[in-house]
Structure 1
Amino acid sequence: MTYLKSHQVLASRNLHETRALLSDLNCIDTIDVVGKMGEVDAVIHQASFSDLNFIHASFGDVRLQIQAPESDNRSLFLLALTNGVGAVNHQGQDHDISIDKGLMRDMRKPMSACEDKFSCLGVHLPLHSLQRHCRNLIDDIKPVEDLEFETGLDFRTPGGRHIRETLHYIANALDNPFQTRNNDIILNGFRDLLLTNILMLLPNSCSAALHNTPQSSAVPRYVKRARDYIHAHASTPITLDDLVKHAGCSYRTLQAAFNTSYGMSPMAYVRSMRMIHAHRDLLAAENGTTVSDVALKWGFIHLGRFAKNYMRQFGVLPSETLRQKQ
């Protein structure tokens, strides 16, 4: 299956052209066909938002040998195959990769791989962004440094399966530019979702701190600060960074306090407030306004899920609210 179809940046049978683009995108300096019977048929798609860069690449019915040197690129690359198999040597370890087994590549360190009938979906993850996001999730006052992940990923585990599904979900959503283009509410939500899932579900050097129960709960003023910020900025992107900054505590502490006060997480509270605004917009809608218009305005990309949650919160479907107004 091909992802990011509306974001194609290369379709070529020219190995030199393919190598040049992969050098820019993924710090790969050598790509060669193994044997004489195959010809590369490269199709590469790329979509970027915030500080994340999604890539889907396929190379046809061919076996390739790939080399990547050391680099100064302080990023990780989460790789999930959509077809084929491969054998990778990275950080002194050998890994077989397949639909069920992925890779967390440290872009600073060399890698060699042999790939057969290969296509993959991946995302560049800047280390400073992961470190900052990790710091926001925990209560430790020390900076998060030297964040490291296990190189091999098992997508058959519940956590691994959820990460792969999240990658596919975001890539599919990016293929609908009418829903996601310039909608920072949706795009920042994708970013927070992906970074949180990666940190919480994939084994890493901060896993123990991330999964420890906070020792202290937030005092009410922290909840009020975050709540007031949400109320004042519901129409703009609200990230986990924003809530942590305005609350003055870690996200895990804030989450525990919100669950105690409102029975939901801070981000669920954000969605609830936006749902209220969507409800008000439907009640005040002019002729020609659609449910889809209102849902996308408030960052709800999946209309079926929007209708279900709207029904749960207000007892009617959004289409019924719109019909009552008109």
Structure 2
Amino acid sequence: MDKQSPKILVRVNGVKTSYTEADETQKDEFQWILPEESEPSYNNVVPFRAEAQTKPAKQQNRAGKRIAITVGAAVMLGTGFGFGMLQLLNGGSAAQTVPASVPPAAAPVKQEAAAAPAKLQVLQLHMVQSGVFSKKENGEAALADAKKKGLPAYLASEDGKYRLFTGLASNKETADKLLNKQQGTYKAWQVPEGKLPAAYEPYSALIVKGESLFSALVEQSSAVYTSGKPDTAKQGALEKEVQALVKESGKVKQEEIKKFVTYISLSYDALKDYETKQGEASFTKLQQLLFEGLASYQNLLPKA
């Protein structure tokens, strides 16, 4: 009968478990052979602490170099691109800016020359004089009486006297012909040159043009009166100049200047009408408009 192995009873957490002791003969029947444990050798092993400390530093250095190179390249590229665009836009004008600013002294001289008022010329006329008065009231009464008779009339002040003119021309021949139809005497008369008031100086060139056109209109009217026809060589240029003067005066605010230009324009229209009709009424109208233009011109000059 076989020998029974002793049993061991173990209780764990209220659970009973029985174990049987193994027989010695059975233990000897099996021999466990385990392989020899040999640790592998690694020649390239780096201590953990050293690797952890060196790798981030290298990575940071590499990243810093990359950032520096990128920023430097971007700056150089942006600078080059900006300089190229500047040269393209300027078109090489940078080299011209320095010489342009070299002569600052010449600018004031040119500005002073441009700002200098145009000089008024002496206006020479040939008049039919119908009376001379020492008092203005008497002269004005004679003026009104002449207009009632259908005569062109103008009262001029000179040397404390008042002269009544009833005809004007550009030469003595025409003035003498006018005297054949009305009583009076011949009078060579002129408006002296003078300096415009400060308020009119900005428009001095315009006024000088108007003065020149006024003389041309008187000359044309005298030519038509004596010969029956105008000077065709001057007629076309006169029309263009009158139109240009009217256009130029569009922005003028001074009423006296505008009035002077208006009478020049009206006188030119009356001249064309007289050239067509050549009647006494149209000539009287032309003469009266020329007198009104003369009066408005004298109002622009400084008072004596």
Give the TM-score taking structure 1 as reference length. Answer: 0.22
Q: Compare relative contact order (CA 8 Å, sep 6+) and give the higher one, 1 or 2.
A: 2
The structure where strand makes up a greater share of residues is: 1
Give the TM-score taking structure 2 as reference length. Answer: 0.24
The structure where helix makes up a greater share of residues is: 2
